[in-house]
Chain A
Amino acid sequence: MSVLPYLLAVFVFLVGLYGIVSSRDLIHLTVCVSVCQSSTYILLLAIGYREHATAPVYGDIPASRKVVDPVVQSLALTDIVVAVAVSALLLAFALRAFEHEGSLDPREMAELKG
């Protein structure tokens, strides 16, 4: 199997991390967290991929047909649900921070330090 999807997962993860580290805007930062999370979907699906296999839905295919691994797909689905909850919460924080501070820059929000 190709190594490409694994490299892509690492690349997407690092791009997301770079975005978080350099971000000057909380909404941009939240999107970067989602980008990071996408890399886990790619990794999970890559691990369950089989050559010349079809979707694991047995309704209209013979039981002998090769299918990709359904477990990783359900893991990815669970992961997406988690991501939605986290993104919603982060966006809510960002919104409230803007109401309070009039700014979305994490540097201006840093009251706690040292």
Chain B
Amino acid sequence: MTPLLPLLTAIPLLAAALLALAGKWLKDPVPDLAGFAAVAAPLVLAAIVLARTGGHVLTYWFGGWRPRAGDFPVGIGWAVDSLGAAFALFVLALLLSALLYSWRYLQEERYLYVVLMLAFGGAMVAFVQTGDIFNLFVFFELMSVAAFALTAYQVEEASPLQGSFNFAVANTIGAFLVVFGIALLYGRTGSLNLAEIGQRLTFDGKHDGLVVASFVFITCGFLVKAAIVPFHFWLADAHAVAPAPVCVLFSGVMVELGIYAVARIFWVVYSGALGAFDTPIRDVLLVVGVSTAVLGALMCGLQRHLKRMLAYSTIAHAGCFLIGVALLTPDGLAGAALYVLSHGLAKGALFLVGGILLVTRGGIDELLLFGLGRRLRLPAVAWFVAALALASPPFLGTFTAHALIEDSAGAEGYWWVPLVLAFATIGSAAAIIRAGLRVFFGVGDRDDPLLSEEPTESPPAEEKPRLALMYAVTLLLAFGGLAVGAWTGLAATAMEAGHTFTDQLSYIHVVLDHRPPAPAPPGEWVTTTSSVVWSVVTLVGAVALGFASTIRARLPDAATRVLAAGFAPLRAVHSGHIGDYVAWLVLGTGAIGAALAVAIR
């Protein structure tokens, strides 16, 4: 049933186009209902596609340009494995949650908001399904442009403009790097089909400057989207100003798509040609992943703007996703995939609670909201359940993801990976717990010398927000994120999907030779003692640090001064100025390129 694949994208994109044309004349609930329908229909189809992929890779060739077995692929082909199908389903599920939540949340030109969300979601679904590298770029740009516009949705204030401008410029330059890489690959192989490029590069067996340069350009370009240090600066600015339901998609799936693209392209295109250099590639990616995880966790503890704090927490977790992928093992990849699922649901719930605070209490600042959330019982439940899910407690939330990544790292000899994951998890979960304690219970002090300056953000002009619906969606996401870790059967399935994803030859045979994929070894979940010990450590550490940070004002003055001085350079680097961000982007690309050029000769 491969004709299903393009429908997953076509339905939301067509609906977006029609709604953009007709929206002006539609009465109030119609654009929203149309939006729900245009997401719910592909959501059902995506579930069918996922059910059919189990162990298979589905392909679709546009315009009937299916090449004969072994021929050169002239047309544009899509190829979807279990992981891609699961990602598409997840994108659509989060999109539907965000749309349900934002019914009446934003008032101005509502239909245009729905149009942008549909275009954004449709492009993301196409991005995970395509098997053509230029197609990948086109949908990358489509989702980026929709995202830029969504960030600036509340344009009455100056700060949304700064956030979206920085976001747009940084990501556009990332896209240029991707085009450079694509052009070089096309020049070498004469093809734009991922499988064909991979086959030709593997057959050539060369790992010369051109191959390495294209790898560096494409990887760095997509890592800009993934908010990996030193390309991460735009993310905090964009999240701080974007409407809360939009942040759910930004943090839950958009950032992760950057990592997805790096993984997909590495395994299909480069894993054969650069197969002998697994170790240096792994080391370089691990270094950037670890820096991202550590920096995100540190910055997270310094924010009083709740959405900005959550944004830095996303950066910390993005570092963890990259660490999982960077191990270059099927199990590490499976761990990263589970991590994305659990994190996306939990982080989504946290942003939605932020939106509820903005609507009902008129603020998003941790210290100004001190104790004001006492009567918001359900949002408080959602906030702490989501924080728990992110703290990786035993057999809940991100536990299975952590366990898979840690065990896989141990098997590869990277014994310190659990330490980094624990640091990132404790840092970000503690900041979330701290903020929750202050806002919902009034625990600790109303004063915190380590937090950044007071932000300004006015609430969206709402008439009658549908609070019951907002609460329901938020709680659903929070408990969903917590449940992922309890489902070890899902972990076993993810391990199988990881094998299919990382099997380059099998992917090439499916797409170019129409042969069935090689069967993946059955995944088997094993609970290791070390993973349980680490999860207890992260849980206890996060709760303890969370409580401790609510009374940071009681630290002796000297200690506060030393800490503040230590964090000052970190703060200064995040200057909010796009010129600085682009300079870091160039520096980062140069450093990663130089490291790989030296290692791969």
Contact = CB atoms under 8 A, between A and B. Distances in A.
B579 A23 contact: yes
A114 B240 CA distance: 12
Q: Interface majority SS on A: helix, strand, loop or mixed?
A: helix
B574 A37 contact: no
B165 A93 contact: yes
A44 B376 CA distance: 56
B204 interface: no
A23 B375 CA distance: 48
A20 B578 contact: yes
A64 interface: no
A44 B164 CA distance: 29
Contacts of B182: 75
Contacts of A93: 152, 161, 164-165, 168
Nearest to B578: A106
Contacts of A40: 176, 179-180, 183
A109 interface: yes
B583 interface: yes
Q: Interface majority SS on B: helix, strand, loop or mixed?
A: helix
A101 B163 contact: no
B183 A47 contact: yes
Nearest to B74: A71
Contacts of B159: 111-112
Q: Max chain B CB contacts within 10 Å: which of A13, A90, A106, A107?
A: A106
B186 A78 contact: no
Interface string B144-161: 010011001001011101
Contact of A111 (B155, B236, B456): B456
Interface residues of A, number: 40
Interface band, chain B: 35 or more
A7 interface: no
Contacts of A13: 176
A17 B582 contact: yes
B237 A112 contact: yes
Interface in A27-73: 29, 33, 36-37, 39-40, 43-44, 47, 71-72
B158 A101 contact: yes
B458 interface: no
A111 B158 contact: yes
Contacts of B173: 17, 20, 33, 36
Nearest to B186: A47
B4 interface: no
B452 interface: yes
A79 B370 CA distance: 49
B312 to A, nearest CB: 11
Interface string A88-114: 011001101100110000110111111
B214 to A, nearest CB: 12
A22 interface: yes
B302 interface: yes
B144 to A, nearest CB: 8
A80 to B, nearest CB: 12
B575 A110 contact: yes
A112 B163 CA distance: 8
B361 interface: no
A82 interface: yes
A113 B576 contact: yes
A8 to B, nearest CB: 14
B158 A29 contact: no
A21 B236 CA distance: 19
A3 interface: no
Interface in B543-597: 571-572, 574-580, 582-583, 586
B162 to A, nearest CB: 5
B257 interface: no
A111 B165 CA distance: 13
B241 interface: yes
B158 A109 contact: yes
Contact of B578 (A29, A44, A111): A29
B169 interface: yes
B432 interface: no
Contacts of A21: 579-580, 582-583, 586
B134 interface: yes
B138 A33 contact: no
B356 interface: no
A20 B576 CA distance: 14
17 contacts: A20-B169, A20-B582, A36-B176, A72-B183, A75-B182, A82-B141, A86-B172, A89-B148, A93-B164, A93-B165, A94-B165, A106-B162, A106-B577, A110-B576, A112-B241, A112-B455, A114-B302
Interface of A: 13, 17, 20-23, 26, 29, 33, 36-37, 39-40, 43-44, 47, 71-72, 75, 78-79, 82, 85-86, 89-90, 93-94, 96-97, 100-101, 106-107, 109-114
Closest 3 pairs between A and B when the two form their complex, measured CB to CB = A110-B576, A113-B576, A114-B571
